[in-house]
Structure 1
């Protein structure tokens, strides 16, 4: 079983992004089963108008149909890192991660919980994701041949309680599709990912955007696959491309058995006592 992270430099035009994804998916290794993750904003990366133009209702629309077709035709599990989906009776959107099995069936979705409303010392300056998006309100873990998949998106990475909750729900692989800025990525991307892998004893699959996207926005890249010991199995620092690594569930089980941190965690008991 293998994990794949695809790194892109997406823009505001879906047709151009689609051509890039088609080309990179053509470079996948022949082994199956294969879990392939696209980065955050792989469908569209641009203005609010561009997101609204590409947004689809969950489970409907030509973009999601294309994702399902790729999964089915290539015989892969495909994770759409994040794309805009519509909300009934709201002008805002969800940033949604979608999981397709190798039959092209949508078997899970997750709406981004933590929205990126921050000031960054880069050419773009201020980011205000909540102007376009509405935060989700639930966690998602999906059963798969690779183990249980715990879903998250980008800025979620800074909130360890989310990943602890996913671990308690049985997650074996933490999915972190992202578009970290150049500034924040250089400072914090790898330490945060390794912390989430180590403290939860999970594989981490983190596909990222990379490069200059215009309007002063630059992303860090460094898509990476980590094992439950926090070791880097594969990384692509810059440019478009993909990385591949094996999943060893017996190694994961051994690490958890030898150092059973989940059994030793006492904060839940402390919180209950203080309620």
Structure 2
């Protein structure tokens, strides 16, 4: 007998989310100050959840990751170890917002000891890492990019993050108590529908992807992937890109956007700096799921539920 109990809403109350599309240069301190100004702008527009782009504190590229990388563990790091951590914490606190801090290059240094008691050379491991803070400036979650951007399209673009970066190994779900749960992933992670499906089945009302698609893959797949993840999972999707800078070594596509549970684009930026604000409403999620009841029609007798046994995020 079917239950008559109405499912609790995955988004408890409407909330404005902002994607901050900005350009970053070689001066980390200037990048952090610029991001702070843009977060203030987003908060002034009524956003309570603010998202920054991938690698917002530095230029994007394998040549830049090591020189801009910061030590995040043990947490909290000192300001000298991670000025970006402390800047993000202050942005969240000063504006009373939940801040999904794009991503920054992270350094983990491991020193091993031999059986003879001597220290080996320190091993340096780099990650592409997103930090989420609450309105008090407290770290809520850390996501390390799981799927590294290794592609080669002849005559167009070749890029290998794995030449420098290591992959993360956990799905990141973040509880925002007044609203519900969001999933945070980074850029290339959006191409892997399993990650999104697991997050949605575990109650995420929004899938949030700071990302930096390029001028080859951007026009092909950026919006398409945002809409696909939204319609697959009947939830909101936010993609937040850097602004395009043709003088930089890597040319970002831009076009940050927010997509609703029926795959309608609620707001989309152009190429330059822009703040995209959209209101997310839990009723829209429920309307989509009642009208096209995928959640009740899945055939786990034919295929497995991928959310079972997935690795959940560790405590920050």
Q: What TM-score, normalized by structure 2, do the two folds share? A: 0.80
1:69 equivalent among 75, 90, 112: 90
CA deviation after TM superposition for structure 1 residue 30, in Å = 3.4
Counterpart of 1:193? 226
Structure 2 distance, partners of 1:271, 1:157, is 22
**Is 1:136 aligned to 2:136, yes or no?**
no
Q: Which has the higher helix share?
A: 1
CA deviation after TM superposition for structure 1 residue 176, in Å = 1.0
From the CA coordinates, give the structure whose radius of gyration is larger. 2
SS in 2 for 1:27: helix
1:53 equivalent among 67, 70, 95: 67
SS in 2 for 1:143: strand
Counterpart of 1:205? 238
Counterpart of 1:7? 21
CA deviation after TM superposition for structure 1 residue 29, in Å = 4.3
SS in 1 for 2:42: coil
5+ residue gaps, structure 2, are 1-14, 111-122, 306-316
Change (3 A) 1:163 1:136: same
2:265 equivalent among 212, 217, 232: 232
Structure 1 distance, partners of 2:291, 2:68, is 47
RMSD: 2.1
SS in 2 for 1:156: helix
Counterpart of 1:252? 285
Counterpart of 2:32? 18
Structure 2 distance, partners of 1:259, 1:221, is 32
Q: What TM-score, normalized by structure 1, do the two folds share? A: 0.91
Change (3 A) 1:213 1:64: farther
2:145 equivalent among 99, 105, 112: 112
5+ residue gaps, structure 1, are none
Contact 2:226 2:238 in 1 (8 A): no
